Amino acid sequence: MKKILVTGGTGYIGSHTAIELISKGYQPLLIDNLSNSKIERLDQIQKITGVRPEFVQVEMCDGAAMRSLFQAHPDIAAVIHFAAVLQVGESVENPLFYYRNNIVSTLNLLDCMKEFKVKPIVFSSSCTVYGNPDSLPVTEFAPIKEAVSPYGNTKKMCEDILRDTSKATDIDVISLRYFNPIGNHASAEIGEEPHGIPTHLIPYLTQTARGIRPHLNIFGGDYATHDGTCIRDYLHVVDLAKAHIAAIERQLSKKQEKQYEVYNIGTGIGYSVLDMVQAFEKATGKAVPYQIVDRRAGDVEAVYADTSAASEKLGWKAELGLEDMFRSAWDWELKLEH
Ligand code: UFG
């Protein structure tokens, strides 16, 4: 059983990935500082898989603590790096915190990988690096645009750090540029737990359908899209988790061709915000009152992925559709206490 270090392992995507790793016979070692997730995730993962993953609470910005972790676990075969602070608005208000946290943690991790000779790393990047793309669907060759937020910039900077490190060391990097992950594990045991008023579309939408919010505010109705609202490529978080397994397996089976590889992880299909509202209502039978309000600063008009590289090189394709995404998001919403 190969041991895979998962940073941010109790978070939304990290915990879904831990489940997929366990189901594929890997031994995930989860680390997290629990600043944005709860230790109960371990119970939930155990309930779903029958296995309680090993967990260490560690502050990745503490270099000595990271060294001790690697010293205590000489059998780490590969790393999946999710840990990051990720609220766009908060990053605009507190850029130093965002840069320090997301960059220093990555530097400490890479220092340890170099020292303890752990070569493969899969990095959690984002389609945010493309900004407003010049053509759609966007491929991995599209130019990287100036980031609109410090959060987005940390993703770009971490990609640069990883690329340069891969050139100078024998560390092998796969950066996965996620589009918009939504939904939850079908068991409704784990899911996204937004703090306070949600900023992402789906938690806001499910809270509105539940009556917690009076209506969904749709940001902008005058974009140059088929119905005037923004277009995104929404993918199921379980499909996204599986993309990490595909990337790790490419690395561990020595199939990685370049020391730095990057893949778009999306479905390839763009839906507008209004399409999403209608599809949610159809999948769940619940009405979502909405209002069209002003555009939100920093939103791109439309972005969806060209997924051919992921399909060709990782052998990965999204399998779940909007209905699965919405059913699981709704089942999870009904379990949350607000
Ligand atoms: N939206 C609304 N109302 C809401 C929330 C969102 O209309 O209450 C719209 C947004 O304007 C956008 C779409 O729904 O058109 C999706 O918005 P999200 O906030 O759910 O996701 P984003 O596309 O803004 O976020 C993505 C990634 C983030 C990343 C961000 C950076 O999911 O991790 O891009 O630009 F930070």
User: pLDDT tens digit string along 20-65?
Assistant: 999 999 999 999 999 999 999 999 999 999 999 999 999 999 999 9
User: pLDDT tens digit string along 229-250?
Assistant: 999 999 999 999 999 999 999 9
**Better-predicted residue by pLDDT, 298 or 310:** 310
Q: What confidence tier does 194 reach under pLDDT thresholds 50, 70, 90? A: confident
Q: What confidence tier does 305 reach under pLDDT thresholds 50, 70, 90? A: very high
User: pLDDT tens digit string along 52-105?
Assistant: 999 999 999 999 999 999 999 999 999 999 999 999 989 999 999 999 999 999
- The identity of residue 308, as a single letter, is S
pLDDT of residue 90: 93
- The verdict on whether 304 is a catalytic residue reads no
State in Å: Cα 20 to ligand 1 middle: 26
d(CA 87, CA 150): 10
pLDDT of residue 337: 81
User: pLDDT tens digit string along 148-175?
Assistant: 899 999 999 999 999 999 999 999 999 9
User: pLDDT tens digit string along 275-291?
Assistant: 999 999 999 999 999 99
Q: For the chain, how many residues are written?
A: 338
Q: Is the pLDDT of residue 319 over 80?
A: yes
The domains found in the chain, sorted by start residue, are: 3-183+234-266+305-315 (3.40.50.720)
pLDDT of residue 249: 98
**Better-predicted residue by pLDDT, 165 or 194:** 165
Q: Please state, in angstroms and as integers, the Cα–Cα distance from residue 7 to each residue in 136, 150, 252, 262, following that order.
A: 32, 21, 18, 19
Given a contact cutoff of 8 angstroms between Cβ atoms, the answer to whether 264 and 127 are in contact is yes
State in Å: Cα 182 to ligand 1 middle: 11
Burial of 300 (0-12, 13-18, 19+ CB in 10 A): middle
**DSSP state, residue 302:** B
Q: Please state, in angstroms and as integers, the Cα–Cα distance from residue 108 to each residue in 70, 91, 101, 302, following that order.
A: 11, 21, 11, 35
Beta bridge partners of 5: 29, 79
Our answer on whether the CB atom of 27 is closer than 6 Å to any ligand 1 atom is no
Ligand 1 mutation target, pool 130, 180, 235, most atoms within 8 A of CB: 180
pLDDT of residue 193: 84
pTM (2 d.p.)? 0.97
- Atom 6 in ligand 1: residue holding the nearest Cα: 201
For residue 80, which phi and psi values (nearest 5 degrees)? -120, 120
pLDDT of residue 338: 72
3-state secondary structure (DSSP) of residue 257:
coil
- Residues of the chain above pLDDT 90, percent: 96
Which candidate in 151, 234, 260, 271 is catalytic?
151
Mind giving me the DSSP string for 50-65? Answer: S---EEEE--TT-HHH
Q: In ligand 1, which atom is closest to the CA atom of 218?
A: 7
Neighbours of 72 (CB within 10 A): 10
pLDDT of residue 136: 98
Mind giving me the DSSP string for 167-190? Answer: HHSS-EEEEEEE-EEE---TTSSS
Q: What is the mean pLDDT of the chain?
A: 97
d(CA 47, CA 51): 8
- Atom 11 in ligand 1: residue holding the nearest Cα: 219
State in Å: Cα 178 to ligand 1 middle: 13
Nearest by Cα to 59 from 95, 96, 99, 32:
32
Q: Give Cβ neighbours of residue 185 (< 8 Å, ≥ 6 apart).
A: 16, 19, 48, 191, 237, 238, 328
